[in-house]
Structure 1
Amino acid sequence: MITIYTLDKDRLVAQAAKARDPLPDGTVWIDLLHPTREEDLQTEEWTKAAIPTHEDMVEIEESSRFYSEAGSQYLTASILYAGENNHHSIAPISFILAGKFLVTVRYSEPRAFTLYTSRATKSGNGLVSENCSGVTILLGIIEAVTDRIADILEGVASEIDHNSAMIFRRSEKDRPMTTKNFRDSLTRIGGQGAFLSKIRESTAGVSRLLVYMTAITDQNSYKKETRAWIKSLERDTQSLSTYVDFLSNKITFLLDTVVGLISIEQNAIIKIFSVAAVAFMPPTLVASIYGMNFQFMPELSQVWGYPMALGLMVASAVIPLLIFKKKGWL
């Protein structure tokens, strides 16, 4: 699908386009979502810039993601998006600066794009001016991406704090954590750690894109405001990366804590069985002795023989328990 955005004073106007349609006047942004080969060829005809395929976009080499070709600048970054069942993932998005045009090629639908277009298509948005270019649109999208990542990180931080409270703020009245509680905690914390790794990859891609943008603006006569905007976005992504590292350390700490608590619970269970085995060993010995079928066991014929045997078994069980309790082993 091709969506063309034309400039109308201080806002963008979106309209759908098809292959073989003429390019409207005032076009500054061509957005390709799941493009067909025919749509790729039509965009190439409009912009005189080659459109990368999906296979080209997933290449991880730096030279395959940031390069210049035939006067056009190609920048690809992995952007976070929500897929089916609100499952977050990352997907590469290519930004092509072809003269005054910005061309975006994407096979995902990040919410940042929706947030940017909903704002940029309104008058007085502060993002679009009468003389804006593809670079301005690109930086506006990147700003929306960083804002979206910041919002997501706030939610992740809240979930981490909630999990931390469930582990550390349990009172004596609360029931001990069960195996299911431990399993659920490990699943939640592990999922948050995997999610943070995706956010880290996305912020790293955006950061590399901005570094390349800095090189472009230094080599060309871009406005000072544009270069300052790029520097501001670089600081934002750096702060996001630092915050992601901080949250990752908290995740690691929580994982270590849960694993440690599981070990403590396992040791407590083993200790109970060990104490029970030691406590019942002397009574078992007494019972075994008096269960022997020897002919000469004088106390067996006495009236006090049976109570004595029971008393020995009870005493041999209670005395070790009292010793263990005095030493603090119970």
Structure 2
Amino acid sequence: MLFAYQIEGDKLARMAPEADLAAATWIDLYRPMPPQSAAVAALGIEVPSLDEMEEIEISARLYRNAGTEVMTVVVPGLSTSKAPMAGPVTFILAPERLVTVRHHAPRPFETFPARADRSGPGCSSPDRIFLGLIEEIIGRLADLMEGTGRALDDIARTVFGGQTGKNGAVLKEALVSIGREGELLGRVRLCLLTLERALSYFSQIAEGRPGTKALNPFIKGATRDIQALGVHADFLSARVSLATDATLGMISLAQNDTVRILSVIAALFLPPTLIASAYGMNFVNMPELAQPWGYPAALALMAGSAVVTWVILKWRRWI
């Protein structure tokens, strides 16, 4: 799909599908088809393939091509099946327009057009739209990290609140939730890393672009925000590790309680079993077998041995 936007006043307006792309200030390509890539290529901008966008070398993610700056970052979003993922997004910054290429659906690309005029840099030029998108992505990352923090708070109340008792299913569900939040946090950290690299590259090439001197405060502000979120991500990573260790410890304690109960039951039945085994040997010279009180005496002896065992275990505080 191709979404084209042009500047109307101080806002971004979406252009009609049949409009001339030469008038567009921002072209957003989502899973572009060959005709859409060809339409952008006619403007002198080469659209990279998904394989090219997924290259991990810095030289493949940040470079200059025929007078345009190409910057690729990894942004959390949703796949075509609505599954959470992190995928590459390429920003192609030309003097006349900004082109973004993506194969998944990060939320900032859906929310930014409606409030582009309210972003710090504004949307009066391709450079400002680029920084506005970066600001929107940073805001989205902050929201995701706040959600992770709230989820960890709920997990901590579940694990440490004493309400789980011996319910292993609740603890297992908590462990799954911790893993899910850890994966999300990993995607956020990867995005922060690639965003910082892209901003560093943009700050270097911005000196040679007209009208970008006024953007330096926004570049520095975005860089500070990324660094602050990095510190917050480290804190949340420590909380994820703590929650994982605590949940695994609670699961071990619950399992130990189960094993202890089984051990106590086995200990209680051990003396009666020994007595029953002795009288079950049926030797000839066993006078109790011929006595009418032999069977009740054996039952009483077995019951008494079990009671004595329970008293000893209770006295030693093993149960």
TM-score normalised by structure 1 residue count: 0.87
One-letter code of the match for 2:193? A
Q: From the superposition, tell whether residues 152 and 225 of structure 1 become closer, same or farther in structure 2 (CA, over 3 Å).
A: same
What is the rounded CA distance, in whole Å, between the counterparts of 1:293 and 1:33 in structure 2? 86
Counterpart of 2:206 (choices 194, 217, 235) is: 217
One-letter code of the match for 1:327? R
1:56-205 matches, within 5 Å, as 56-83=52-79, 86-120=82-116, 127-128=121-122, 132-171=124-163, 176-205=165-194
What is the rounded CA distance, in whole Å, between the counterparts of 1:45 and 1:266 in structure 2? 66
One-letter code of the match for 2:67? G
Q: Number of residues paired by the alignment? A: 319
Q: From the superposition, tell whether residues 22 and 70 of structure 1 become closer, same or farther in structure 2 (CA, over 3 Å).
A: closer
Q: Unpaired runs of 5+ in structure 2?
A: none
Q: 1:138: how far off?
A: 0.2
Which residue of structure 1 aligns with residue 316 of structure 2? 327
Q: From the superposition, tell whether residues 31 and 305 of structure 1 become closer, same or farther in structure 2 (CA, over 3 Å).
A: closer
What is the rounded CA distance, in whole Å, between the counterparts of 1:149 and 1:214 in structure 2? 21
Q: 1:289: how far off?
A: 1.9
- Which is worse superposed, 2-11 or 99-108? 2-11
CA contact (8 A) 2:120 2:218 kept: no
Q: Unpaired runs of 5+ in structure 1?
A: none
What is the rounded CA distance, in whole Å, between the counterparts of 2:214 and 2:139 in structure 1? 20
Q: 1:256: how far off?
A: 1.6
One-letter code of the match for 1:154? E
Q: 1:76: how far off?
A: 0.7
CA contact (8 A) 1:11 1:125 kept: no
CA contact (8 A) 1:280 1:317 kept: yes
CA contact (8 A) 2:64 2:70 kept: yes
CA contact (8 A) 2:166 2:254 kept: no
Query: Sequence identity of aligned pairs in percent?
Result: 36
Q: 1:223: how far off?
A: 4.1
What is the rounded CA distance, in whole Å, between the counterparts of 1:18 and 1:43 in structure 2? 14
- Which is worse superposed, 66-75 or 277-286? 277-286
One-letter code of the match for 2:224? R
Q: Deviations over 1:212-268 (max 9, x none)?
A: 112223455654431121111111112222222222222222222222122112222
